[in-house]
Amino acid sequence: MSIFGSMKTAVSGMNAQANRLSTVADNIANVNTTGYKAVSTSFSSLVLPSSGGNYNSGGVQTSVRQAVSDQGDISYTTSSTDLAISGDGFFIVQGPDGTPVLTRAGDFTKDDEGNLVNAAGFMLMGYSYDSGAPAVVVNGFDGLVPVNVNQDGLTAIASTSGIFKGNLDSNAKIAPVAPATAPSANLATTTTDTKKVSMVAYDRLGNKVMYDFYFTKSSVAAAPPPAPPATAATWEVAMFRNADAAVGGATSFPYSTAAVGTGALTFDRDGKMTSTGTVNIVDPVTGQTIAMDFSAFTQLGADFSGTGTPNGQAATPVKDVTVDGDGIVYAKYEDGSTKPLYRIPLANVASPDKLTLMSGNVYSANGQSGVTVTGFPQTNGLGTIKSGALEGSNVDLAGELTEMIESQRSYTANSKVFQTGSDIMDVLVNLKR
């Protein structure tokens, strides 16, 4: 046995407890840091070869473990740009040097350019909707851009398509008039079974343009005996500019301009549509073509019903920005309409606890953590994004205080071993005197 060896063992014990105390200090200092993940110290023994009755004391070494995969408590805030992840995954953010890294800290606010930046100065990254619905790049960060919510001014979007759905009454009578007097002929004579509804669309400047839709049964298919009574039928749909309707009188006919769109909707004997169901509005005033989809219509023995939903948007300012659970960032306009701006992806690795921790509460992948895999929230095991919420630190303050006391006691005990070895050395030195 070596006295110097026991003293060196005591020194390694003090160093180990100092490392433990360092992790405790970090955890306590970051107990209120958004998305912070606790670190802990693990100990392993170092044993030196011994023989016979001689024992050589070894020492102890430490390694730091991260609890990155442990979920922190989620608390709710009043800011829609505060984001929390419930489940697995990390936000992809970009530092000042332009390098993408991972974080769970979602305390994002707008900077002077409108980019979402968290408290550590990292910009949130996402896929833009400028070229339509984005697709995720699963094995990299290509295509990601800073999420910018600076939507000043007015925005107008022209209507290019619309969906009309409802039911046409199978008991309606065929128009008892010649085709020349059907609604599409722009004459006042229409059958009482002709149904009218209206829909608002938008021109290129965001002005509202209302269209009147007329549905009239034009023919019934013959059913050879002994088949049941024929119910398969064809309906005419005629569309006019509401602004061109006649002023006064009992009806809107005649309109001052011709129909801006006509088409035929055919149904089988089960009331299902057999035609394509697409009829275009070609408006000579706005210069727009709006593809109307009527394929969701049925012809059943029920009252007429019809609702229309066009795309496009009136000229209106942005009121707020919202984020849904799928990571889609919406601009919410003053008129209540919404428009997708970005979609926020999440990234994950095979072993999150092995990620490399960096300043700013961010992580980077390494050989031990595995490669980074990117996906949209709620897909492939990734979590959900919660807007107006933050994930808190997963530090257990009471447990950290307990560890601090244990570390202090262990450090003191190791120092006593060192002091005792030093005293023995003094005895040996004094023997020479």
**Res 257 pLDDT > 60:** yes
3-state SS assignment for residue 26: helix
Residue 144 burial class via C-beta count within 10 angstroms: exposed 0-12, middle 13-18, buried 19 and up? buried
pLDDT, position 130: 86
Tokens of 279: 């009829």
79-113: string of b/e by CB count within 10 Å (b at 16+)?
A: ebbbbbbeeebbbbbbbeeeebbbbbbbbbeeeee
pLDDT, average across residues 229-254 = 85
The pLDDT-based confidence of 152 (bands split at 50, 70, 90) is low
pLDDT single digits (tens) 84-138: 999 999 999 998 889 999 999 999 999 988 899 999 999 999 999 988 889 999 8
CB-CB contact of 233 with 243 (8 Å): no
pLDDT of res. 318: 80
Return the pLDDT at 223. Answer: 53
In this prediction, residue 394 has a pLDDT band, given cuts at 50, 70 and 90, of very high
HSE (CB half, 13 Å, CA atoms) of 370?
11
Looking at residue 179, what is its pLDDT?
63
Residue type, 119: A
Residue whose structure tokens are 């933050």: 390
Cα separations (Å) of 361 from 33, 97, 144, 292?
Answer: 9, 16, 21, 51
Beta strands in 158-297 (DSSP E): 161-169, 195-202, 208-220, 233-241, 261-267, 278-283, 288-293
Q: What confidence score (pLDDT) does residue 374 get?
A: 95
Are 343 and 326 contacting, i.e. CB atoms less than 8 angstroms apart? Answer: yes
The full DSSP string for 310-377 is E--EEEEEEEEEEE-TT-EEEEEETTS-EEEEEE--EEE-S-GGGSEEETTTEEE--TTT---EEE-T
Q: Over the stretch 37-56, which tens digit does the pLDDT of each residue have?
A: 999 999 988 887 777 677 77
Per-residue pLDDT tens digits for 187-211: 766 777 889 999 999 999 989 999 9
For 283-302, the pLDDT digits (tens) are: 999 999 999 999 999 999 99
Which residues, in sequence order, are bridge partners of residue 267? 233, 273
Residue 310 token pair: 């066009």
Q: How many CB atoms lie within 10 A of CB 40?
A: 16
Which of 225-260 are b and which e, b meaning 16 or more Cβ less than 10 Å from the residue's Cβ? eeeeeebbbbbbbbbbbbebbeeeeeebbbbeeebb
Question: What does the pLDDT average to over 145-174?
Answer: 88
Question: What integer pLDDT is reported at residue 324 of this predicted model?
Answer: 92
The token pair at 213 is: 């839709």
Q: Specify the pLDDT at position 381.
A: 92
Assign 224 a pLDDT band (cuts: 50, 70, 90): low
Task: Return mean pLDDT, the chain.
Answer: 89
The residues pairing with 305 across neighbouring beta strands, listed in sequence order, are 167
Q: How many residues does the chain have?
A: 433
pLDDT category at 277 given cuts 50, 70, 90 is: very high
DSSP-assigned letter for residue 91: E
Least confident of 17-21, 48-52, 316-320: 48-52
Tell me, what's the pLDDT at 227?
Answer: 52
Tell me if residue 114 falls in helix, strand or coil.
coil
Pairing mode of beta strands 123-128, 338-343: antiparallel
Tokens describing residue 306? 């019809």
Question: At residue 152, what is the residue type?
Answer: D
Q: Average pLDDT of 223-251?
A: 78
Closest to 71 (Cα-Cα) out of 41, 43, 104, 47: 104
Q: What is the pLDDT of residue 188?
A: 65
Residue 67 has what DSSP assignment?
A: -
What pLDDT sits at residue 157? 85
Q: Is the dihedral of CA 251, 255, 260, 263 positive or negative?
A: positive
Q: What local confidence, expressed as pLDDT, does residue 211 receive?
A: 96
Residue with tokens 């050395």: 425
Helix (H, G, I), strand (E, B) or coil at 232: coil
Whole-number Å distance between alpha carbons of 343 and 324 = 9
Token code pair at residue 395: 């530090």
Question: Is pLDDT at 229 greater than 60 in this prediction?
Answer: no
Bigger pLDDT: 183 vs 91:
91
For 419, the enclosing helix (H) or strand (E) is helix 397-432
Which residue type is seen at 281?
Answer: I
Q: Minimal CA–CA distance to 162: which of 267, 266, 288?
A: 288
Token digits of residue 107: 């305390």
Q: What is the pLDDT of residue 149?
A: 87
Q: Examine the pLDDT at 258 and tell me if it is beyond 90.
A: yes
**Could you count the other beta carbons within 10 Å of the beta carbon of residue 341?**
20
Q: How far is CA 112 from the centre of its chain?
A: 24
Contact between 153 and 317 under an 8 Å Cβ cutoff? The reply is yes
Structure confidence by residue, pLDDT tens digits, 335-374: 777 889 999 999 999 999 999 999 999 999 999 999 999 9
Q: Mean pLDDT throughout 324-334?
A: 89
